[in-house]
Structure formats: structure tokens, C-alpha cells
Structure 1
């Protein structure tokens, strides 16, 4: 993963996009990185070729309007964060390929979880870029968390989750936040209908292999970032449910793109896919460099 590229923020000028831009600029400031503010559009004549309107806007006028909006957002950022370098780029063509190409040079890609329709869930463009972008992708829904809210990272022992855990520790250090390392063990079916403990907490002996492995990860992260308070959260619960519930009170939820259950070559595992669709707040999806 690159650490010297810009933070690329995609905007569609929607109301939700304002908090996406704000979150992305804050991330760039803590990383001491530049911002590349991007809007990608399709030629109006292509978008309306099969529409109801026989008249389409002049392409040059339309492009100038988009540039004007980009420059206005850029100027707002520069006024609010004068120490963060900001450039803008207007790209013509399909959004996903354009942003995927930029992701190869970026250290972080920041997107709104949904677009102009503002429907709950995950937008189609965001969903594709979480899968195909080559750098970490932050999906912004709401961006407000309590002052003591932790960075939460899900770990399952996979290489992808360990990469995510190390990046989560870096984020916690940058943000001055505690770090919670969460491991959820799926609960096996009980023929008698008895579930886990009421609170879902896994009551494991320190000698249990699962406890020992998770503790080793937490200890490694604390050793690398001694200023960060690291806690371990072991649960008997469905991993998706545990992570989504944890995201309610998290400053940031970090997940790896693939878990232990993912087939080799699968770009986005089932747990990661379901978490990014249902999570609250901001989710950072981290891809294994390999």
C-alpha cells in the first residue's frame, strides 16, 4: 500500500457528499497528505441518448459548470484547512474505471456510501470500487462519533485481517483514539435452542488458542504504537452482526477485504461485503497487497 500518494476524494456534489469531503480532508490532514478532489461525469449526450429529452446540454458548458462546482469546493477546503494541498480533476467517462485507475496512485480513496439518491445501503459505484480499487477505500455514511469512540478492527487470523489491524492501529494513533480488536466466533447451531451468553462475550481461558492468537495481535499493535490504548473484544456471535453492532459506536470500523472463508482469488469476502452494506458510520476496507 502506498503511503506517499494523495487522498482521492470523489464528489458528486450531493448533500451527502459534503460530509464525505469533510471526512476525507480530515484524513488527509492527519496523514500529512495532499487531496485530489475528483468528479467523473459522462457526456450528457450519451446519458440522454435513450432518455425523454431530445435536447441535451452543450458539452463545453456542462463541463465548465462541473469545473466551477469543483473549484468552489476546493476553495472551501483551502479556507478551512490552509495547510492541506488541494487539487481538482474533472474526468469524462464511466466513474468506476476512472477512480480505479486513480486508486493505483493513491494512499486512500474516499467515497460516499451512497450517491445522489441517498438510499440506505451501499451504492452501486461504491460497491464496485470497494471490490476493485487497489488502495484502501473509506466509505462515509455519517461521520459523527463521540470524543472517546474507538477505532474498531475485525480480525479472524487471515492475512487480510492482519494487514487491516496494522492499518487500524496507525489510524488510531493518528486520531488519538483507542483501538478495539474484535474477533467474533460464529455460534454453532444448538439442537436445544440455547444460544451464547446474553452479552455474546466469549468467556475463553487465556490458554485457549483463539484467545492467545487474538491477544498476540493486540500485543503486536500496542508494541508498534505504545501511545494507543488497545483492548481485545472476543465474542461468540456472527462476525457480520458483531462488526455492524460495533460500528454504531465506533469512530472508524476497519475490515480486511477477504477473510479466512474467502476463496483464493476472491476480491471481496462475504463478511466484508455484508459489513460494508450494513455498517453505521465510516468503514475502511483494506486490501491485502498480494
Structure 2
């Protein structure tokens, strides 16, 4: 199957922003863009009661899809754009439609520069079930404000940093690889954020608390450096900034998102679990980060 970037379209301003972001990402990767519109036929009883015609619903869904495609090709004439109209529940058909894609991009209603995202049930379900990396893009975000104000004259725009949240106890290889590749592709620095907590026994050692804190700070910073060493070697051109702090991981990532072009977090794959499971850190970042957020599934 042809490698591609998939953007989900529903006609909302958020999905149009997602399509614009996905188009720019497709150009960065040298890949075509596939726009997907899922339309859900009404149940027969409800369709009969309202007089709704499935053919009409499909027709209007197709018009929405074509309008977005024309908008993108008008702005990026060199980009290959294809359209796919799929019948079914979006939460079910979108992960399947993007199963062989490199990236699935969704829109998310923005709550403003302070509030961040509002991720609906469909978006959460897609994030929780997709094996393909999923990026959530706010309404009004097309990628333009991912660049630094003073881009090099005559050169490529200078991207803001990519931020990676990492758990050094269980670092996800796929998550780390994704973040390094995105930073390399953008020519942007990569800020790697590690959060940790002091061991419980330190509360009983008040007299030595300062020494223990300093010792643990050094140990955790060294662990982060050790974890990233092979990735630095693999991506020598990427400027890596290591941030190792005590406290909540979500809080530190949200702070870092204020100056980021993309925040990358992991989602552990859970087999046999019922319901929507994203993880508390990814959930918090999805709902409140200012920058676009990439959620990468990993073992």
C-alpha cells in the first residue's frame, strides 16, 4: 500500500485545520495526503421518520470532502491529494482507514490559548484504538504558528521545539523514534521531559532530605542521559535538551507545550481491555496542551 498521511474530515473548522496541518506534514515527509470522510447512515426507523435519504447524506458528505480537497490543492498545488468517502461510525472506521498510513490527523475544538483542546468521544476512541500515530490539531491551527517569529531569511522556516514526554523506567521505542524523526524533519530542537518522584522512604529521613533529593536528582538526570545516548548517536543533527524534574509529568509537559510545535506522548497498547484507555498523562496533555499533540501507541 502507498505510504500516506491521513486526515479525517467532518466539515468542522477543527477538521479543516487538521487537514491543513496534515498537508504541511505530508510535504515535509514527501508523501501524498489522503482526506477521509466518514458518514454514518441513519437507522432505517429514524430515516423513515425524518424522511432522510442515505443517498443525500452521502452526496453532501462527498461535497464537504471535495471542498476541503480543493482548498488544499489550491494552496499546495504540488501535493498529491486523494479523497475517501467511507460509510460507518467514525470511531470505528477511521483507525481502520489509517491502519497502513504513517500518520492520522484529527481536528479538536480549541478552548483558546489557555484552555487548550476539547477532545470529544470520537477523538478519544480513535486515539485509544489506533495503532497508527494520531495527531490532534486545534481549530484555527494550520501550522503557521509552529514557526519561530524570526525565520532565517531565504531559508526554511525555523520550527519551534518538539517536546517528548519520556518514562525512563519504560521508554517506548516507537514514541522516542517518532519524536526524534519529527525534530530531524523540522530541523527543530527536541526537548525531552522526564518527571519523577522521590522514593517514599525519604519522608522518614527529614535530616537527610536535602542530600537525598540532590542525590536522586543526579541519578535521574544521569538515567535520562543514558536512555537518550543511542538516540543522540542515531540523530546527531538533532539538538537535544534534557529536562529532568520532580513532580507531575502532565504539568511539566503542559508547561513545555507553550513554546512547542508538537508534543509527543505515548499510549501503552492494552489487549483485551474494555472502554477507552489513553492513560492519565496522555489524557491530560490531549485536553490542555496548547500545541498539536501526537499520541504514539507502543508495547
Superposed pair shares fold, TM > 0.5:
yes
TM-score of the pair, normalised by structure 2 = 0.79
Q: CA RMSD in A?
A: 3.1
Give 1:1-290 correspondences, 5 Å limit.
Answer: 5-43=3-41, 45-46=42-43, 49=46, 54-114=49-109, 120-141=117-138, 142=141, 143=143, 144-147=145-148, 148-159=159-170, 161-186=172-197, 208-258=218-268, 268-288=278-298, 290=299
Contact kept, 8 Å, 1:187 with 1:238, in 2: the verdict is: no
| Bigger proportion of residues as helix | 2
Provide closer, same or farther for how the CA distance between residues 263 and 57 of structure 1 changes in structure 2, counting only shifts above 3 A. closer
TM-score norm. by structure 1 comes to 0.82
Offset, 1:5: 2.5
Deviations 1:60-97 (A, max 9, x none): 22322221221121122222222321111111121111
Q: Structure 1: any 5+ residue segments left out of the alignment?
A: 195-201
CA distance in 2, matches of 1:264, 1:13: 33
What is the CA–CA distance in structure 1 between the aligned matches of 2:295 and 2:123, rounded to whole Å? 11
Q: What is the CA–CA distance in structure 2 between the aligned matches of 1:88 and 1:263, rounded to whole Å?
A: 32
Q: What is the rounded CA distance, in whole Å, between the counterparts of 2:271 and 2:38 in structure 1?
A: 32
The 1-side partners of 2:223 and 2:270 are apart by 22
Label 1:150 to 1:204 Cα distance change in 2 as closer, same or farther (>3 A).
Answer: farther
- Name structure 2 gaps, 5 residues minimum: 111-115, 149-158, 207-212
Encode CA deviations 1:89-130: one digit per residue, 9 max, x unaligned. Answer: 111121111112123211111001249xxx952111110111
Q: Pick closer, same or farther for the CA change 1:57–1:287 going to 2, 3 Å.
A: same
Alpha-carbon deviations, 1:194-225, whole Å to 9, x = none?
9xxxxxxx96689x432222112333222212
Between the aligned partners of 1:80 and 1:139, the Cα distance in structure 2 is 22
Q: 1:158 to 1:236 in 2, by over 3 A?
A: closer
Deviations 1:126-183 (A, max 9, x none): 1011100111110112453341520000111254534212210100111111101110
SS in 2 for 1:88: strand
Aligned length: 269
